[in-house]
Structure 1
Amino acid sequence: MSFLQVRGLVSGYDRGVVLHGVDLDLDAGAVLGLLGRNGVGKSTLIMTLAGLVPPSAGSVLLDGHELAGQRADRIARAGVALVPQGRRVWATLTVAEHLALAARRGRWTVATVLDLLPRLAERRKQLAGQLSGGEQQMLAIARALLTNPRLVLLDEPSEGLAPAVVDQIAGVVTTLRDEGVAVLIVEQDLHLAFAVAGEIAVMEKGALVHRVPTPEFRRDPDTAYRLLGVA
Structure 2
Amino acid sequence: MSFLEVSGLVSGYDRGTVLHGLDLDLDAGAVLGLLGRNGVGKSTLIMTLAGLVPVSSGSIRLHDVELAGKRPDQIARAGVALVPQGRRVWATVTVAEHLALSSSRSRGGTWTVDSVLDLLPRLAERRRHYAGQLSGGEQQMLAVARALLTNPRLVLLDEPSDGLAPAIVDQIAGVVTTMRAEGVTVVLVEQDLHLAFGVADEIAVMEKGALVHRAPTAQFRRDPDTAHRLLGVA
Which residue of structure 2 lines up, in the alignment, with residue 53 of structure 1?
A: 53
CA distance in 2, matches of 1:176, 1:124: 22
Pairing 1:29–2:32 present: no
> TM-score w.r.t. structure 2 length?
0.98
Q: Give the one of 178, 181, 204 matched to 1:178.
A: 181
Shift of 1:107: 1.0
Which residue of structure 2 lines up, in the alignment, with residue 119 of structure 1?
A: 122
Which residue of structure 2 lines up, in the alignment, with residue 153 of structure 1?
A: 156
Moved over 2 A (4+): none
CA distance in 2, matches of 1:215, 1:10: 30
Considering only aligned residues, what root-mean-square deviation do their CA atoms show, in Å? 0.5
Long gaps (5+) in structure 1: none
Which residue of structure 2 lines up, in the alignment, with residue 133 of structure 1?
A: 136
Which residue of structure 2 lines up, in the alignment, with residue 75 of structure 1?
A: 75
CA distance in 2, matches of 1:14, 1:127: 36
CA distance in 2, matches of 1:18, 1:217: 25
Which residue of structure 1 lines up, in the alignment, with residue 99 of structure 2?
A: 99
> TM-score w.r.t. structure 1 length?
0.99
Q: Residue 91 of structure 1 aligns to which amino acid in structure 2?
A: A
CA distance in 2, matches of 1:129, 1:10: 36
Which residue of structure 2 lines up, in the alignment, with residue 8 of structure 1?
A: 8
CA distance in 2, matches of 1:108, 1:5: 25
Shift of 1:179: 1.0
CA distance in 1, matches of 2:226, 2:62: 31
After TM superposition, the structure 1 = structure 2 runs for residues 189-228 of structure 1, keeping only pairs within 5 Å, are: 189-228=192-231
CA distance in 2, matches of 1:63, 1:130: 39
CA distance in 1, matches of 2:203, 2:73: 29
SS of aligned partner of 1:8: strand
Q: Residue 85 of structure 1 aligns to which amino acid in structure 2?
A: Q
CA distance in 1, matches of 2:150, 2:6: 22
Sequence identity, in percent?
A: 83
SS of aligned partner of 2:177: helix
Q: Residue 108 of structure 1 aligns to which amino acid in structure 2?
A: W
Shift of 1:15: 4.0
CA distance in 1, matches of 2:226, 2:41: 19
Q: Residue 118 of structure 2 aligns to which amino acid in structure 1?
A: D
CA distance in 2, matches of 1:77, 1:171: 26
CA distance in 2, matches of 1:115, 1:24: 34
Long gaps (5+) in structure 2: none
Q: Residue 153 of structure 2 aligns to which amino acid in structure 1?
A: R
